[in-house]
Amino acid sequence: MAVTERRAAARGTVDGPLGGNAGSLRATADALAKIESAEAVVLVEGISDQIALETAARGRGRELAAERVVTVPIGGAHAIGRFLTGLGPLVTRVRLAGLCDLREEEIFRRGLELGRVGSPRTRAEMERLGFFVCLDDLEEELIRAVGVAAVEALFEAQGDLRSFRSFQSQPAWRGRKAEAQLWRFLRSSSQRNLRYARLLVEAAADRDALPRPLDALLRSV
């Protein structure tokens, strides 16, 4: 299969329609339209988290939409309080869960209190409410789970290894740890980040090595 065909197959519906701010707003609106009939609502920071969770679920034979589990990309951690408040009575009628990065943990904690979901003071208390924290973020969790060599093998299979090698040679990143280079390369393009959210979760699932926050979140809904 040609490089362009491999990339197209990997992208599916992720690139283009979901890219950029307009794509983020559309994904949020699409999720919110399903909330009234939801059994559970999962609040995540962005589309890549949504893709990762839904991919992990499919890897376990689950289809969250069919289970009426709605994953809402809220457009950044600072929106958590506003989203929970906006849910109104639904807060008490549906199971709530969520995922955030380590640096956003305190923001999520305050948001849970503002939305009257609870007043967690520790990470364990957050988890009892269904909210889980990535160390340091989901991309780093997935790179650790899959391993440097396997991530690079994915890059090669998707036709991205040459671009990554070029990135590694840039003065700002030359000599840095491979994990940091991989993380920055993934995050340097929103389209790439969305595409590899699925591919890395699939690779981690194949190794039975889903990152704990993602695994625990999936088990909670």
Burial 30-64 (b: 16+ CB within 10 A, else e): ebbeeeeebebbbbbbbbbbbbbbbbbbebeeeeb
pLDDT of the residue at 184: 97
- Measured between alpha carbons, how far is 11 from 91 in angstroms, rounded to an integer? 34
DSSP classification of residue 63 = -
Sequence letter at residue 93: R
User: 33: which residues sit within 8 A by CB, 6+ positions away?
Assistant: none
Overall number of domains in the chain? 2
pLDDT of the residue at 20: 60
Q: Do 89 and 194 fall into the same domain?
A: no
pLDDT of the residue at 219: 94
- Measured between alpha carbons, how far is 201 from 21 in angstroms, rounded to an integer? 23
pLDDT of the residue at 215: 97
Q: Do 85 and 158 fall into the same domain?
A: no
Q: Do 216 and 194 fall into the same domain?
A: no
Q: Do 126 and 152 fall into the same domain?
A: no
Rounded-to-10 torsion of CA 80, 81, 82, 86: 100
pLDDT of the residue at 91: 85
How large is the C-alpha radius of gyration of the chain? 18
Q: Do 54 and 126 fall into the same domain?
A: yes
* Domain interval for residue 79: 3-136+210-220
Q: Do 161 and 53 fall into the same domain?
A: no
- Measured between alpha carbons, how far is 31 from 71 in angstroms, rounded to an integer? 7
pLDDT of the residue at 35: 87
Q: Do 112 and 196 fall into the same domain?
A: no
pLDDT of the residue at 4: 36
pLDDT of the residue at 66: 94
Q: Do 116 and 216 fall into the same domain?
A: yes
Q: Do 164 and 148 fall into the same domain?
A: yes
**pTM score, whole prediction:** 0.86
Ranges of the chain whose pLDDT falls below 50: 1-18
